[in-house]
Amino acid sequence: GTASSGHYIAYCRNNLNNLWYEFDDQSVTEVSESTVQNAEAYVLFYRKSSEEAQKERRRISNLLNIMEPSLLQFYISRQWLNKFKTFAEPGPISNNDFLCIHGGVPPRKAGYIEDLVLMLPQNIWDNLYSRYGGGPAVNHLYICHTCQIEAEKIEKRRKTELEIFIRLNRAFQKEDSPATFYCISMQWFREWESFVKGKDGDPPGPIDNTKIAVTKCGNVMLRQGADSGQISEETWNFLQSIYGGGPEVILRPPVVHVDPDILQAEEKIEVETRSL
């Protein structure tokens, strides 16, 4: 590889055992320090060193070894603790990575909450909190009832929107010659599809057809080669009533005009054929 392209590997030192490791995609192998020193590096990362931070880590470690009796246990973010163990300046304690805005555990995180938090005795929490601030303090974990209700509403909304879309689209597919087609941005549609199928937690924003539309002579038309799909007027009205947005991009198949004389001739031939 070169500095601009190619396959890269990384050498990282584990601060717990001071050993170096080679990271090559999924492969992780222990290597000697001389191997790292002789490597031709494109990018070097340094970790800020702080004697004060190391002293603070040793102090907290000693307190953990004492294990004073504690009436209360406090939960703290494992993510922040990792910063405390490795960063020279970990910043204020932040427990918001496992809490919702209401102060409880979001339902979607309840199943793996133990991977997100660590329980500390009160004296350790008090020391960390007095030193770094932040929070909030958490000594009881519970699934947020408000978020649970909101999650159930979202799930019901997903199911309803998907069922109505499938019904409208099936009816559209059965039409032999639709009078109009409504075009919709596939980029927006994929976001909506991810939402109703539960792959994305948040619904998409307003329908955005700006990338597939072009205005000519005051008329909004489909941009040539645009990443778009075709839906019925009923489906468009359904989605637009929920999400809003636009603009409307409508395709109308050309109407074929049949010459009356040709039509009469075809009818005459048909009559003569029947008489035979």
- Domains within the chain, CATH numbers bracketed: 1-45 (no CATH), 51-135 (3.30.2230.10), 155-251 (3.30.2230.10)
Both tokens of 44, joined, read 């070097």
Are 118 and 78 in contact by the 8 Å Cβ rule? The answer is yes
- Amino acid 272: pLDDT: 45
Is the pLDDT confidence value at 75 over 70?
A: yes
- Amino acid 265: pLDDT: 56
CA 40 to chain centre: 36
- Of the pLDDT bands very low, low, confident and very high (cuts 50, 70, 90), residue 257 is low
CA 249 to chain centre: 28
- Residue pointed to by tokens 């005009």: 257
Both tokens of 181, joined, read 């087609």
Find residue 202's DSSP bridge partners: none
- Mean pLDDT, residues 199-226 taken together: 91
- Mean pLDDT, residues 107-121 taken together: 94
CA dist 34 and 26 (Å) reads 23
Q: Which run of H or E residues covers position 170?
A: helix 145-174
- Alpha helices by DSSP H, 182-259: 186-196, 233-243
Within 10 Å of residue 125's Cβ, how many Cβ atoms?
Answer: 22
pLDDT in tens, 153-194: 999 999 999 999 999 999 999 988 888 899 999 999 999 999
The closest of 42, 18, 41, 40 to 30, measured between CA atoms, is 18
Sort 150 into a burial class: Cβ within 10 Å, 0-12 / 13-18 / 19+. middle
Q: What does the angle CA 23 – CA 27 – CA 30 come to, to the nearest 5 degrees? A: 60
pLDDT in tens, 9-36: 999 998 778 899 999 998 999 999 999 9
- Amino acid 71: pLDDT: 85
**Average pLDDT value over all residues in the chain:** 88
Within 10 Å of residue 252's Cβ, how many Cβ atoms?
Answer: 9
Are 180 and 233 in contact by the 8 Å Cβ rule? The answer is yes
